[in-house]
């Protein structure tokens, strides 16, 4: 029996809303519309959904062929299905999740679906940038996660040394549009690479040899683009508590954990 008031496989339409709306947050729900479409149920995004920037909305939802549009109807999917969310009667959602399942699979189970996907979905078809084939991309910026800067620098040094990455083959990304508030440090020994748009960044992440990043939207986006491909190698600097709770954690990333 479902722990929620309504089994979503019995409803006429799915209305998705995430309480935050960052890139990684939206991507965490990105498999749901296609999954519900297999049951003949249409998915919509709630009209009050906020986004860190419009490009997130365009990439995750507007380009998703299984999202039918926007509606004012009350949300029944997304944040309202999170553990700790409040039910309509005011009670908290409480349950024991199967932590042997991956992060995306657990979200699918919360929505009365079978655990199916290991990674988020992106429906944009990235274009290969040939000159990035041997390049290691560095993106340590984040909106939600302020990292321990000395520890992060140690992490960068370790990854570069351990994997024999060559400095001349490294590029630190800089975005035309502001996409991060934290960890905005400029690596003076790494050449800068300008990103013009989120779609351009998809092309970059799809084309590069490796990505060194933080536990941020870039990390989730790289996972969604790579899925079961052998590359790029993804290195992620991640807080202990997020890693131990399995939040935004995927099975094909090389994680480096640290206390906040």
Enumerate domains of the chain plus CATH numbers: 8-110 (no CATH), 130-258 (3.40.50.2000)
CB of 124 closer than 8 Å to CB of 63: yes
**Pairwise CA distance, residues 121 & 150, whole Å:** 34
Residue 186 reports pLDDT greater than 90: no
**Pairwise CA distance, residues 3 & 200, whole Å:** 41
CA-CA distances (angstroms) from residue 92 to 65, 95, 108? 33, 10, 19
Residue 1 reports pLDDT greater than 60: no
Q: What percent of the chain has pLDDT over 90?
A: 66
Mean pLDDT of 81-109: 73
| pLDDT digits 0-9 by tens, 11-69 | 999 999 999 889 999 999 999 999 999 999 999 999 999 998 899 999 999 999 999 99
CA-CA distances (angstroms) from residue 38 to 35, 41, 42, 78? 5, 7, 9, 18
CB of 222 closer than 8 Å to CB of 210: no
Computed over every residue of the chain, the mean pLDDT equals 88
| pLDDT digits 0-9 by tens, 52-64 | 889 999 999 999 9
| pLDDT digits 0-9 by tens, 128-177 | 999 999 999 999 876 566 667 788 888 999 999 999 999 999 999 998 87
Strands in the chain per DSSP E: 13-17, 42-46, 67-71, 77-78, 136-139, 170-175, 191-195, 210-214, 233-239, 254-258
CA quadruple 82, 83, 86, 90: dihedral, nearest 10: 150
Place of tokens 């351009």: 200
**Pairwise CA distance, residues 160 & 140, whole Å:** 14
């Amino acid at each position: 029996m479902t722990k929620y008031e309504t089994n979503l496989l019995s409803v006429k339409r799915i209305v998705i809303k995430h309480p935050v709306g960052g890139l990684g947050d939206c991507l965490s729900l990105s498999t749901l519309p296609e999954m519900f479409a297999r049951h003949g149920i249409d998915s919509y995004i709630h009209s009050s959904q906020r986004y860190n920037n419009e490009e997130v909305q365009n990439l995750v939802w507007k380009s998703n062929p299984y999202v039918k549009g926007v509606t004012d109807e009350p949300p029944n999917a997304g944040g309202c299905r999170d553990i700790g969310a409040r039910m309509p009667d005011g009670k908290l959602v409480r349950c024991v999740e199967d932590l042997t399942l991956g992060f995306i699979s657990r979200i699918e189970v919360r929505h009365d679906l079978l655990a199916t996907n290991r990674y988020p979905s992106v429906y944009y078809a990235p274009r290969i940038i040939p000159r990035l084939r041997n390049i290691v991309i560095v993106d340590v910026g984040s909106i939600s996660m302020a990292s321990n800067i000395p520890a992060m620098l140690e992490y960068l040094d370790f990854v570069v040394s351990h994997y024999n990455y060559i400095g001349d083959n490294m590029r630190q990304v800089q975005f035309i549009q502001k996409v991060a508030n934290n960890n905005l440090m400029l690596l003076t020994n790494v050449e800068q690479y300008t990103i013009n748009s989120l779609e351009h960044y998809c092309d970059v992440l799809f084309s590069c040899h490796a990505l060194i990043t933080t536990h941020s939207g870039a990390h989730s986006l790289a996972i969604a683009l790579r899925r079961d491909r052998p590359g790029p190698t993804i290195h992620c600097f991640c807080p202990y508590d997020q890693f131990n709770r399995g939040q935004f954690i995927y099975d094909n990333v090389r994680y480096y954990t640290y206390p906040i």
